[in-house]
Chains A and B, each alone.
Chain A
Amino acid sequence: DTGVSQNPRHKITKRGQNVTFRCDPISEHNRLYWYRQTLGQGPEFLTYFQNEAQLEKSRLLSDRFSAERPKGSFSTLEIQRTEQGDSAMYLCASSLSGTSGGWFFGPGTRLTVL
C-alpha cells in the first residue's frame, strides 16, 4: 500500500466552473476525511465518512460542495460554480476505526480559481 493518494495534484479553473477531486485512502481504512487549508492557516474540517456513510459535515460547508464515497473506498469532492474564495489546498485523510492516532494524509489538491 502506497498511502493516501489524491488526484489531481493541481487544478486551475475559471470562476463559475465545476471541479471534482478524488481521494483514494489506505485500503483497510474505513474512515475518510476532507479538509481545506488556506495559506498560513491550519487544516479546516469539511466532511467525514465512515465506510460509505457521510456522518458529519462542517456548518461552514457551502451548498456548492458535495462529497461522496459510493462503495466505501475512494471518495470524490465536487465544488460547483467555483468562486475565487474556493482557492485552497484540499486535503484528504484516512484512519481505521477502533484504533487511536494513525491519521494519514494525502498530498493534497491545490485549487486555483481565476
Chain B
Amino acid sequence: GIQVEQSPPDLILQEGANSTLRCNFSDSVNNLQWFHQNPWGQLINLFYIPSGTKQNGRLSATTVATERYSLLYISSSQTTDSGVYFCGGQEGSARQLTFGSGTQLTVLP
C-alpha cells in the first residue's frame, strides 16, 4: 500500500505566525484531503485538493499531483488552530483513505 509521510511531526508557533505543513505520498493518489483533529478527537474536513490550489480564509492548500505532495498553509495562526493535521489519499481503486501520522501544531498566545 501507499506510504504517507507528513512533516514536520511537531510545530510550535506564536500566535500570528505563518506555517506550512507538508504531505508526501509514495505513489499517485486520488481524493486527497486535509483534516484537522480538534482536542476532542474529531476530524474536521478542511480541503478536498486532488490538484491545484484552494483557499478558505486563513487556510490554503496546494497539491502537485505529478510530484506526489501536498502543502497546507496556515496564515496568521490563532490558538484555535492548535491540534493535529492529517492528510489522506486513496490508492488506485481503493475506497478508503490512507492517512499520515499527522503534524501536531501548537499555537501559543
- Cβ contacts under 8 Å, A98 to chain B: none
Please classify the interface of chain A as helix (H, G, I), strand (E, B), loop, or mixed, using the class held by over half of its residues.
Answer: strand
Q: CA separation between A31 and B106, bound complex, in Å?
A: 33
In chain A, what residue has the closest Cβ to B99?
Answer: A42
Most central of A33, A55, A100 by chain B CB within 10 Å: A100
Nearest Cβ distance between residue B72 and chain A, in whole angstroms?
15
Does chain B have a CB within 8 A of A107? yes
Interface size on B, residues (CB 8 A): 25
The proximity string for B residues 2-26 relative to A, scoring 1 for CB distances below 8 Å and 0 otherwise, is: 0010000000000000000000000
- Given the interface pairs A105-B35, A108-B42, the reply to whether A42 lies near B100 with Cβ below 8 Å is yes
Q: Select B48's contact among A43, A102, A110, beta carbons within 8 Å.
A: A102
- Cβ contacts under 8 Å, B100 to chain A: 42
Cross-chain pairs A/B with CB under 8 angstroms, 22 sampled: A33-B97, A37-B41, A40-B101, A41-B102, A42-B4, A42-B86, A42-B88, A43-B97, A43-B99, A44-B99, A56-B96, A93-B43, A100-B30, A100-B31, A100-B50, A101-B31, A103-B97, A104-B45, A105-B43, A105-B44, A105-B45, A108-B42
Find residues 75-114 in chain A having any chain B CB closer than 8 Å to their own CB.
89, 91, 93, 100-108, 110
Does chain B have a CB within 8 A of A21? no
Does chain B have a CB within 8 A of A74? no
Q: Select A55's contact among B42, B44, B50, B95, beta carbons within 8 Å.
A: B95
